[in-house]
Amino acid sequence: MFGAGLLDSREAVREATLAVARRTQQAGGSGFDLWASPHFLVAHRNQLTLDAFWCGLEEGLVEARIWGLQGCVVVDAVNHFGPKHGHAVLNLVLPNLPTFVKGFSTGGLEGSPFRDWAPVFDRARAAGLRIAAHAGENGPGSNVREAVLEGGVARIVHGIRADEATLDLLAERGIPVDICPSSNRALAQDVQPHPLPRMLRAGLRCALGTDDPGVIPCDLDTEVLAARLMGLDEAAMATLRRNGAEDAWCLVEAETSPQAL
Protein backbone atom coordinates (compact mmCIF):
# COMPACT_ATOMS: atom_id res chain seq x y z
CA MET A 1 0.00 0.00 0.00
CA PHE A 2 1.87 3.08 -1.33
CA GLY A 3 5.17 2.35 0.37
CA ALA A 4 3.97 1.47 3.85
CA GLY A 5 6.71 3.47 5.58
CA LEU A 6 5.09 6.72 4.44
CA LEU A 7 1.85 5.96 6.28
CA ASP A 8 3.08 7.15 9.66
CA SER A 9 0.39 9.66 10.65
CA ARG A 10 -3.32 10.38 10.42
CA GLU A 11 -2.57 13.05 7.84
CA ALA A 12 -0.51 10.68 5.68
CA VAL A 13 -3.28 8.05 5.73
CA ARG A 14 -5.82 10.74 4.79
CA GLU A 15 -3.61 11.88 1.90
CA ALA A 16 -3.14 8.30 0.67
CA THR A 17 -6.90 7.73 0.77
CA LEU A 18 -7.47 10.93 -1.19
CA ALA A 19 -4.85 9.86 -3.73
CA VAL A 20 -6.88 6.70 -4.34
CA ALA A 21 -10.05 8.80 -4.60
CA ARG A 22 -8.40 11.14 -7.10
CA ARG A 23 -7.26 8.26 -9.28
CA THR A 24 -10.72 6.69 -9.09
CA GLN A 25 -12.29 9.94 -10.20
CA GLN A 26 -9.79 10.41 -13.02
CA ALA A 27 -10.65 6.92 -14.26
CA GLY A 28 -14.35 7.81 -14.29
CA GLY A 29 -15.22 5.56 -11.33
CA SER A 30 -17.88 6.15 -8.70
CA GLY A 31 -16.30 4.31 -5.80
CA PHE A 32 -13.41 2.22 -4.51
CA ASP A 33 -12.83 -0.72 -2.18
CA LEU A 34 -9.54 0.04 -0.49
CA TRP A 35 -7.44 -2.86 0.84
CA ALA A 36 -5.61 -1.70 3.98
CA SER A 37 -3.24 -3.37 6.46
CA PRO A 38 -3.76 -1.91 9.94
CA HIS A 39 -1.99 -4.80 11.67
CA PHE A 40 1.16 -4.33 9.60
CA LEU A 41 1.30 -0.58 10.25
CA VAL A 42 0.10 -0.46 13.85
CA ALA A 43 1.25 -3.71 15.47
CA HIS A 44 4.09 -4.94 13.27
CA ARG A 45 5.79 -1.65 12.35
CA ASN A 46 4.38 0.34 15.24
CA GLN A 47 4.49 3.51 13.17
CA LEU A 48 1.10 4.99 14.10
CA THR A 49 -1.81 4.24 16.41
CA LEU A 50 -4.89 2.36 15.29
CA ASP A 51 -6.94 5.42 16.14
CA ALA A 52 -4.79 7.62 13.89
CA PHE A 53 -5.10 5.05 11.11
CA TRP A 54 -8.90 4.88 11.29
CA CYS A 55 -9.21 8.68 11.63
CA GLY A 56 -7.05 9.27 8.55
CA LEU A 57 -9.10 6.79 6.56
CA GLU A 58 -12.38 8.26 7.75
CA GLU A 59 -11.34 11.81 6.89
CA GLY A 60 -10.28 10.73 3.42
CA LEU A 61 -13.49 8.77 2.85
CA VAL A 62 -15.67 11.65 4.05
CA GLU A 63 -13.91 14.06 1.70
CA ALA A 64 -14.14 11.57 -1.19
CA ARG A 65 -17.86 11.37 -0.56
CA ILE A 66 -18.13 15.13 -1.00
CA TRP A 67 -16.53 14.58 -4.42
CA GLY A 68 -19.29 12.07 -5.16
CA LEU A 69 -17.23 8.92 -4.54
CA GLN A 70 -18.17 6.04 -2.29
CA GLY A 71 -15.30 4.29 -0.56
CA CYS A 72 -14.87 1.48 1.91
CA VAL A 73 -12.02 -0.45 3.49
CA VAL A 74 -11.15 -4.14 3.30
CA VAL A 75 -8.80 -5.17 6.12
CA ASP A 76 -5.94 -7.26 4.85
CA ALA A 77 -4.17 -10.18 6.55
CA VAL A 78 -1.08 -11.98 5.26
CA ASN A 79 -1.88 -15.50 4.10
CA HIS A 80 1.60 -16.95 4.61
CA PHE A 81 1.74 -15.72 8.21
CA GLY A 82 -1.04 -18.22 8.85
CA PRO A 83 -4.37 -18.21 10.71
CA LYS A 84 -2.81 -17.24 14.03
CA HIS A 85 -1.83 -13.97 12.40
CA GLY A 86 -5.36 -13.73 10.97
CA HIS A 87 -6.78 -13.91 14.48
CA ALA A 88 -4.28 -11.26 15.64
CA VAL A 89 -5.52 -8.94 12.89
CA LEU A 90 -9.11 -9.50 14.04
CA ASN A 91 -8.12 -9.04 17.69
CA LEU A 92 -6.74 -5.66 16.72
CA VAL A 93 -9.62 -4.37 14.60
CA LEU A 94 -12.84 -6.02 15.81
CA PRO A 95 -13.21 -4.40 19.26
CA ASN A 96 -13.77 -1.00 17.68
CA LEU A 97 -14.56 -1.61 14.05
CA PRO A 98 -15.49 1.49 12.04
CA THR A 99 -18.60 1.16 9.86
CA PHE A 100 -16.59 1.94 6.73
CA VAL A 101 -14.74 -1.38 7.10
CA LYS A 102 -16.81 -3.76 4.98
CA GLY A 103 -14.51 -6.67 4.35
CA PHE A 104 -11.65 -8.91 5.41
CA SER A 105 -9.19 -10.41 2.95
CA THR A 106 -6.03 -12.43 2.78
CA GLY A 107 -3.14 -11.20 0.66
CA GLY A 108 0.55 -12.02 0.50
CA LEU A 109 1.85 -15.40 -0.54
CA GLU A 110 -0.60 -18.29 -0.71
CA GLY A 111 1.42 -20.35 1.72
CA SER A 112 -1.20 -21.39 4.25
CA PRO A 113 -4.19 -23.57 3.22
CA PHE A 114 -7.55 -21.83 3.12
CA ARG A 115 -9.18 -24.61 5.09
CA ASP A 116 -6.97 -23.55 8.00
CA TRP A 117 -8.19 -19.99 7.55
CA ALA A 118 -11.86 -21.00 7.76
CA PRO A 119 -12.20 -20.25 11.52
CA VAL A 120 -10.67 -16.79 10.96
CA PHE A 121 -13.07 -16.13 8.11
CA ASP A 122 -15.99 -17.38 10.23
CA ARG A 123 -15.07 -14.96 12.97
CA ALA A 124 -14.77 -12.02 10.55
CA ARG A 125 -18.09 -12.98 8.94
CA ALA A 126 -19.78 -13.12 12.35
CA ALA A 127 -18.62 -9.55 12.87
CA GLY A 128 -20.46 -8.52 9.69
CA LEU A 129 -17.51 -8.50 7.30
CA ARG A 130 -17.48 -9.89 3.78
CA ILE A 131 -14.61 -12.22 2.94
CA ALA A 132 -12.19 -12.04 0.02
CA ALA A 133 -8.93 -13.84 -0.73
CA HIS A 134 -6.01 -13.39 -3.09
CA ALA A 135 -5.99 -16.91 -4.52
CA GLY A 136 -4.73 -18.72 -7.59
CA GLU A 137 -2.03 -16.20 -8.50
CA ASN A 138 1.24 -17.11 -6.77
CA GLY A 139 -0.35 -20.35 -5.55
CA PRO A 140 -2.04 -23.21 -7.40
CA GLY A 141 -5.48 -22.96 -9.01
CA SER A 142 -6.81 -25.43 -6.44
CA ASN A 143 -6.47 -22.63 -3.86
CA VAL A 144 -9.37 -20.84 -5.55
CA ARG A 145 -11.65 -23.83 -5.15
CA GLU A 146 -10.54 -24.40 -1.57
CA ALA A 147 -11.03 -20.72 -0.68
CA VAL A 148 -14.62 -20.87 -1.90
CA LEU A 149 -15.64 -24.36 -0.73
CA GLU A 150 -13.72 -24.59 2.54
CA GLY A 151 -13.13 -20.94 3.40
CA GLY A 152 -16.53 -19.66 2.29
CA VAL A 153 -14.81 -16.79 0.50
CA ALA A 154 -17.27 -14.48 -1.29
CA ARG A 155 -14.83 -12.69 -3.59
CA ILE A 156 -11.67 -13.87 -5.31
CA VAL A 157 -8.75 -11.63 -6.15
CA HIS A 158 -6.83 -12.97 -9.19
CA GLY A 159 -8.01 -16.59 -9.54
CA ILE A 160 -6.08 -16.82 -12.80
CA ARG A 161 -4.82 -20.38 -12.28
CA ALA A 162 -8.33 -21.77 -11.70
CA ASP A 163 -9.22 -24.79 -13.84
CA GLU A 164 -12.37 -25.07 -15.96
CA ALA A 165 -14.39 -26.78 -13.21
CA THR A 166 -13.50 -24.02 -10.77
CA LEU A 167 -14.40 -21.35 -13.34
CA ASP A 168 -17.80 -23.03 -13.61
CA LEU A 169 -18.14 -22.99 -9.83
CA LEU A 170 -17.32 -19.27 -9.68
CA ALA A 171 -19.77 -18.54 -12.49
CA GLU A 172 -22.56 -20.61 -10.93
CA ARG A 173 -22.19 -18.88 -7.59
CA GLY A 174 -21.77 -15.43 -9.13
CA ILE A 175 -18.58 -14.88 -7.16
CA PRO A 176 -16.84 -11.64 -8.14
CA VAL A 177 -13.26 -12.00 -9.38
CA ASP A 178 -10.91 -9.00 -9.31
CA ILE A 179 -8.41 -9.04 -12.16
CA CYS A 180 -5.15 -7.11 -11.92
CA PRO A 181 -3.12 -7.77 -15.11
CA SER A 182 -0.03 -5.83 -13.93
CA SER A 183 0.18 -7.91 -10.78
CA ASN A 184 -0.28 -11.12 -12.78
CA ARG A 185 2.47 -10.08 -15.20
CA ALA A 186 4.84 -9.58 -12.26
CA LEU A 187 3.87 -12.58 -10.13
CA ALA A 188 2.46 -15.17 -12.53
CA GLN A 189 4.47 -14.77 -15.72
CA ASP A 190 3.94 -18.39 -16.70
CA VAL A 191 0.16 -17.98 -17.01
CA GLN A 192 -0.05 -17.24 -20.71
CA PRO A 193 -2.18 -16.16 -22.43
CA HIS A 194 -3.99 -14.25 -19.70
CA PRO A 195 -7.25 -16.10 -18.93
CA LEU A 196 -9.45 -12.99 -18.60
CA PRO A 197 -11.15 -13.40 -22.01
CA ARG A 198 -11.78 -17.09 -21.19
CA MET A 199 -13.12 -16.19 -17.74
CA LEU A 200 -15.58 -13.69 -19.22
CA ARG A 201 -16.72 -16.24 -21.80
CA ALA A 202 -17.32 -18.69 -18.93
CA GLY A 203 -19.68 -16.13 -17.38
CA LEU A 204 -17.50 -15.04 -14.46
CA ARG A 205 -18.21 -11.71 -12.80
CA CYS A 206 -14.73 -10.28 -13.43
CA ALA A 207 -13.83 -6.65 -12.83
CA LEU A 208 -10.54 -4.80 -13.13
CA GLY A 209 -8.69 -3.77 -10.01
CA THR A 210 -5.26 -2.49 -9.06
CA ASP A 211 -2.93 -4.41 -6.82
CA ASP A 212 -0.53 -2.72 -4.44
CA PRO A 213 0.82 0.25 -6.47
CA GLY A 214 3.67 0.63 -3.98
CA VAL A 215 4.99 -2.76 -5.08
CA ILE A 216 3.72 -3.04 -8.65
CA PRO A 217 3.31 0.25 -10.56
CA CYS A 218 -0.27 0.27 -11.86
CA ASP A 219 -3.48 2.25 -11.88
CA LEU A 220 -6.85 1.59 -13.42
CA ASP A 221 -5.74 3.00 -16.78
CA THR A 222 -2.85 0.54 -17.07
CA GLU A 223 -5.20 -2.33 -16.25
CA VAL A 224 -7.80 -1.16 -18.79
CA LEU A 225 -5.08 -0.92 -21.43
CA ALA A 226 -3.81 -4.40 -20.56
CA ALA A 227 -7.35 -5.80 -20.88
CA ARG A 228 -7.80 -4.17 -24.28
CA LEU A 229 -4.47 -5.64 -25.43
CA MET A 230 -5.91 -9.08 -24.63
CA GLY A 231 -8.30 -8.43 -27.49
CA LEU A 232 -11.42 -7.66 -25.43
CA ASP A 233 -14.04 -5.74 -27.38
CA GLU A 234 -16.18 -2.84 -26.19
CA ALA A 235 -18.95 -5.13 -24.95
CA ALA A 236 -16.46 -7.07 -22.80
CA MET A 237 -14.96 -3.85 -21.46
CA ALA A 238 -18.47 -2.64 -20.58
CA THR A 239 -19.12 -5.93 -18.77
CA LEU A 240 -15.97 -5.43 -16.69
CA ARG A 241 -17.12 -1.91 -15.73
CA ARG A 242 -20.65 -3.04 -14.94
CA ASN A 243 -19.43 -5.94 -12.78
CA GLY A 244 -17.17 -3.54 -10.90
CA ALA A 245 -20.05 -1.17 -10.24
CA GLU A 246 -22.47 -3.91 -9.21
CA ASP A 247 -20.11 -5.96 -7.04
CA ALA A 248 -18.06 -3.25 -5.30
CA TRP A 249 -18.54 -3.49 -1.56
CA CYS A 250 -18.35 0.29 -1.19
CA LEU A 251 -21.62 0.54 -3.11
CA VAL A 252 -23.50 -2.31 -1.45
CA GLU A 253 -25.19 -0.31 1.25
CA ALA A 254 -24.77 3.11 -0.31
CA GLU A 255 -27.94 5.14 -0.50
CA THR A 256 -27.29 6.25 -4.05
CA SER A 257 -27.75 3.69 -6.78
CA PRO A 258 -24.54 2.45 -8.39
CA GLN A 259 -23.42 4.31 -11.47
CA ALA A 260 -21.16 2.89 -14.11
CA LEU A 261 -17.62 2.53 -12.82
Count Cβ neighbours within 10 Å for each residue of 65-78 and write b for 16 or more, e otherwise.
eeeebbbbbbbbbb
Give me the least distance between CB of 166 and Zn ion, in Å please. 18
Among 178, 211, 223, 247, which residue sits at the site for Zn ion (rule: CB under 5 A)?
211
Based on C-alpha coordinates, what's the Rg of the chain? 17
Name the residue whose CB lies closest to Zn ion: 134
Closest CB to Zn ion among 211 and 247? 211
Closest CB to Zn ion among 14 and 161? 161
Closest CB to Zn ion among 10 and 134? 134
- Tell me, residue by residue from 76 to 115, as one string, x for binding to Zn ion by CB under 5 A and - for no binding: ----------------------------------------
Closest CB to Zn ion among 58 and 211? 211
Where does this chain touch Zn ion (CB under 5 A) — which range of 19-27, 116-124, 142-150, 211-219? 211-219
Question: Is residue 247 at the binding interface for Zn ion, with CB under 5 A as the rule?
Answer: no
Residue 21 · residue 63 · CB < 8 Å: yes
Site for Zn ion in 114-173 (CB under 5 A): 134
Taking the alpha carbons of 149, 151, 156, 160 in that order, is the dihedral positive or negative? Answer: negative
Give me the least distance between CB of 9 and Zn ion, in Å please. 26
Residue 100 · residue 58 · CB < 8 Å: yes
Question: How many residues of this chain interact with Zn ion, rule: CB under 5 A?
Answer: 2
Closest CB to Zn ion among 35 and 121? 35
Give me the least distance between CB of 211 and Zn ion, in Å please. 4
For the beta carbon of residue 233, count every other beta carbon within 10 angstroms.
Answer: 10
Catalytic residue among 137, 146, 172, 223: 137
Give the CA distances from residue 4 to residues 93, 107, 165, 213, 214, in Å, rounded to whole numbers and listed in that order.
Answer: 18, 15, 38, 11, 8
Give me the least distance between CB of 187 and Zn ion, in Å please. 7
Give me the least distance between CB of 118 and Zn ion, in Å please. 21
Residue 151 · residue 104 · CB < 8 Å: no
**Is-catalytic flag, 137?**
yes
Q: How far is the C-alpha of 68 from the C-alpha of 97, rounded, in Å?
A: 24
Looking at the annotation, which residues are catalytic?
Answer: 137
Residues in contact with Zn ion by CB under 5 A are 134, 211
